[in-house]
Amino acid sequence: MDGLAERLTAVRARIERASERARRDPARILLLAVTKIFPAEAIQDAYALGLREFGENYVQEFEGKAPAVSGLAGARFHLIGHLQSNKAAKAAELFQVVQTVDSAKLARRLNEAGRALDVMLEVKLSEEESKSGADPGGVPALIEAVRACPNLRLRGLMTMPPWSEDPEAPRGFFRSLRELAETHGLAELSMGMSNDLETAIEEGSTCVRVGTALFGKRRKQLATDEHR
Ligand SMILES: *Cc1c(COP(=O)(O)O)cnc(C)c1O
């Protein structure tokens, strides 16, 4: 993929500068390469440049790419898109991490799949219409439900604030997520994307999910056609 090496260098430099400003260790911030809509070659190219953790949004889309990337030793795949309970078994088969657990029912279904999975709870911090995620008030019960599942290891919280061009706009949401995680003793915070990863790192992110800044613009139409 043309220019991926340069873009990766630039993203890593952004992570390092933000970490420095926040007096944090950049090694504690996972760069999750978001490859949705891009073909399996994007994952292979990023892997060749040293990336090992990949984010995908759709079970069905990743099922198509999985055969091409299943031999990449040490690669881990995170589901970062909304997951319906009826696709939980398939998701548990394809992914090592599910960042979007937002109901006790989904947690139970993932657990029943019988595979060890790292999970994060997706929290909805804004009233924005179609966003998935658990309400902050429901988080304590959800934590209890996940902890009752022997196959699930609860790592932390994830959120996706309303899109804004202003990288400062999500700061309050990031802070709320960190406070919620602290309250419950959860170490990992998946927050920050191409546009606002600096803000997220300043607010404590341990996983930035970066697509556009690494791979370029996505062809949005493809996504809607495929997942209708
Ligand atoms: C697409 C997506 C990303 C990456 O967004 P970019 O702005 O392209 O970096 C991160 N997280 C989630 C949940 C996404 O759906």
Positive/negative CA dihedral, 85, 89, 93, 94: negative
Residue 86: count other Cβ atoms within 10 Å of its Cβ: 8
User: How many Å lie between the centroid of ligand 1 and the Cα of residue 69?
Assistant: 20
How far is the C-alpha of 54 from the C-alpha of 43, rounded, in Å?
7
As a whole number of angstroms, the distance between CA 210 and CA 195 comes to 9
* Cα dihedral sign, 190-8-68-59: positive
Using a 6 Å cutoff on CB, does residue 210 contact ligand 1? yes
Distance 56 CA to ligand 1 centre (A): 9
Fold of 4-215: TIM Barrel (3.20.20)
Query: Which of 193, 194, 215, 222 for mutating ligand 1's site (highest number of atoms within 8 Å of CB)?
Result: 193
The residue whose CB lies within 8 Å of the most ligand 1 atoms, and thus the one to mutate among 34, 57, 132, 222, is 34
Cα–ligand 1 centroid distance for 115 (angstroms): 26
Asked if residue 16 lies in contact with residue 28, where contact means CB atoms within 8 angstroms, the answer is: no
Nearest CA to ligand 1 atom 4: 211
Give the separation between CA 168 and CA 184, rounded to whole angstroms. 26
In this structure, how many other beta carbons lie within 10 angstroms of the beta carbon of residue 150?
A: 9
Chain-centroid distance, C-alpha 129: 20
List Cα–Cα distances, 216 to 41, 95, 96, 172, 201, in angstroms. Answer: 14, 24, 25, 27, 22
Query: For residues 155 and 120, is the Cβ–Cβ distance under 8 A?
Result: yes
What pLDDT, on a 0 to 100 scale, did the predictor assign at position 1? 64
Residue 194 CB neighbours (<10 A): 17
What is the pLDDT at residue 127?
83
Residue 40 CB coordination number (10 Å): 16
What is residue 129's predicted lDDT score, i.e. its pLDDT? 65
DSSP label of 185 = T
* The model's pTM: 0.95
* Signed CA dihedral, 157, 162, 168, 172: sign only: negative
Residue 34 Cα to ligand 1 midpoint, Å, equals 6
The whole-number mean pLDDT for each consecutive block of 10 residues of the chain, a chain of 228 residues, reads 92 98 98 98 98 98 98 98 98 98 98 98 86 93 98 98 95 98 98 98 98 91 48
Query: Quick one: pLDDT at residue 224?
Result: 52
Q: Is 36 in the pocket of ligand 1 (CB under 6 A)?
A: yes
| pLDDT value for 2 | 75
Is 155 close to ligand 1, i.e. is its CB under 6 Å away?
Answer: no
According to the model, what pLDDT value does residue 157 have?
98
Per the rule left: phi > 0, alpha: psi between -120 and 50, beta: everything else, 202 is alpha
* Ligand 1 mean position, distance from CA 192 (Å): 9
